[in-house]
């Protein structure tokens, strides 16, 4: 879009912005993603004329977050791609963590000075609740790429800007790592910016995956002496359950993420208690671990689940909903139950299957091998006693 056309569009957006905020009918409806965000801003009481949250974290705190972020492994690749474009002198490359805190900012010194005036600096929190509708915060809220231009921003101070942002996820476990953003003066927006941001995210995620594969290779090499002296079936996995090596058992690429105090169920091995290795875990079957007994006590608030195995017993408190799900699985027996049937029991209809699947997923992260899927049921070798509420 030419500069003249961008200026005309910016003026149109200002009219829409002013009309919506004044409660009058706009000349046209804002885009759906913008309308949703503005509704959130109005409900939060964000002041479009004010300078909302701008207090940055101290440099030491930013440094700590950088060290803890896996994005530190790929920040150079992100910047190299985005700052190599012909019009890079007109914008900034900004990378935040999953909390929306700006960890890195690079690019045009001229645009950096403008961003400093705005408070768009390293250490600043750039979420919707902090600074209103903006591509970074709205991408976090929408869990999707977002591009905003001019008065699509909620704060008037941000109207002279455009920003294009995309979430970046860890390919190992799918967790959100942060946001990659390109921002600059509105009238310098180039149509290729959005595609550049998308390309940088894909490049970074691919590099993170290569780094993961390198770590698996290192783990595999480190355990070679151990494997050469053992003939029984076993797995060696990393902290996320990705398989680095296996022996005597056919497995897929990944099993449940191990924890020192949780039994895991592995097809072909049964119930196993993971053993810590440097950089990973050794998983092998032991005959004494063939049965896991548990008691769900509904007489307490919250409900308590106690699990007894070959090692120290462990206890976990459950929310009322999770206790209800576990009771339903116990009642279903070995044949298990479908998501539709669980939805019917929990909600009185079969329309909440997505919610049921999400609840089961959360429960499996806490309870591990106690639960199995397809259909939903207690894990093999698990004996559960339910003590009903009085």
Concatenated DSSP letters of 345-356 = HHHSSSTTHHHH
- What is 135-185 written as a DSSP string? HHHHHHHHTS-EEEEGGGSSSGGGTTEEEEEEEEE-TTT--EEEEEEEEEE
**Of 274, 214, 266, 273, the residue nearest 244 (C-alpha):** 214
| CA R_g for the chain | 26
Dihedrals phi, psi of 335, to nearest 5 degrees: -70, -20
Q: Are 294 and 308 in contact (CB under 8 A)?
A: yes
> Which ranges of 229-338 does DSSP label H, i.e. alpha helix?
320-332
Q: CA-CA distances (angstroms) from residue 77 to 71, 195, 196, 208? A: 10, 16, 13, 11
pLDDT (tens, 9 = 90+) of the chain, 390 residues, equals 556 689 999 999 999 999 999 889 999 999 999 999 999 999 999 999 987 778 899 999 999 999 999 999 999 999 999 999 878 889 999 999 999 999 999 999 999 999 999 999 999 999 999 999 999 999 999 999 999 999 999 999 999 999 999 999 999 988 999 999 999 999 999 999 999 999 999 999 999 999 999 999 999 999 888 787 777 888 999 999 899 998 888 777 888 888 876 777 777 777 787 889 988 999 987 655 456 788 999 998 899 988 876 555 677 889 999 999 999 999 988 889 999 999 898 888 888 888 888 888 888 777 766 788 888 998 877 888 999 887
Question: What end-to-end distance do the CA atoms of the chain give, in Å?
Answer: 70
d(Cα 23, Cα 250) in Å, to the nearest integer? Answer: 64
- Structural domains in the chain, CATH included, are 3-212 (3.30.450.40), 223-289 (no CATH), 292-387 (1.10.10.10)
User: How far apart are alpha carbons 181 and 184 in whole angstroms?
Assistant: 10
Q: Please return the burial class of 336, using the count of CB atoms within 10 Å of its CB with bins 0-12, 13-18 and 19+.
A: middle
Contact (Cβ atoms closer than 8 angstroms) between residue 390 and residue 299: yes
Helix (H) or strand (E) holding 105, with range, is strand 102-107
């Amino acid at each position: 879009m030419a500069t003249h056309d961008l200026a005309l569009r910016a003026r149109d957006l200002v009219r829409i912005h002013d009309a919506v905020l004044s409660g009058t009918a706009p000349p046209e409806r804002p885009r759906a993603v913008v309308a949703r965000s503005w509704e959130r801003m109005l409900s939060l009481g964000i002041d479009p004329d004010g300078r909302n949250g701008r207090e940055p974290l101290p440099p030491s705190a930013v440094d700590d977050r950088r060290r803890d972020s896996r994005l530190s492994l790929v920040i150079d690749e992100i910047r190299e791609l985005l700052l190599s474009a012909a019009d890079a002198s007109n914008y900034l490359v900004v990378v935040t963590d999953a909390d929306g805190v700006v960890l890195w900012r690079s690019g045009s010194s001229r645009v950096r000075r403008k961003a400093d005036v705005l408070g768009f600096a390293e250490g600043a929190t750039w979420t919707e609740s902090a600074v209103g509708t903006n591509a970074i915060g709205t991408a976090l809220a929408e869990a999707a790429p977002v591009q905003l231009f001019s008065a699509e921003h909620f704060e008037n101070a941000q109207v002279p800007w455009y920003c294009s942002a995309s979430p970046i996820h860890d390919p190992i476990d799918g967790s959100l790592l942060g946001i990659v953003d390109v921002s600059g003066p509105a009238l310098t927006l180039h149509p290729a910016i959005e595609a550049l941001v998308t390309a940088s995210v894909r490049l970074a995620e691919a590099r993170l995956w290569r780094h993961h594969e390198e770590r698996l290779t290192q783990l595999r090499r480190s355990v070679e002496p151990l494997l050469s002296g053992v003939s029984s079936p076993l797995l060696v996995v990393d902290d996320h359950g990705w398989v680095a090596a296996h022996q005597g058992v056919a497995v897929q690429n990944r099993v449940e993420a191990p924890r020192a105090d949780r039994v895991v169920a592995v097809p072909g091995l049964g119930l196993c208690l993971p053993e810590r290795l440097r950089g990973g875990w050794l998983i092998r079957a032991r005959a004494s671990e063939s049965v896991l007994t548990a008691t769900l006590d509904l007489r307490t608030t919250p409900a308590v689940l106690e699990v007894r195995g070959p090692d120290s017993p462990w206890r976990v408190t459950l929310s009322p909903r999770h206790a209800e799900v576990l009771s339903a699985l116990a009642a279903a027996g070995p044949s298990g139950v479908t998501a539709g049937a669980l939805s019917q029991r929990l909600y009185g209809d079969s329309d909440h299957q997505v919610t049921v699947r999400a609840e089961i997923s959360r429960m499996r992260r806490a309870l591990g091998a106690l639960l199995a899927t397809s259909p939903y049921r207690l894990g093999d070798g698990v004996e559960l006693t339910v003590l009903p509420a009085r």
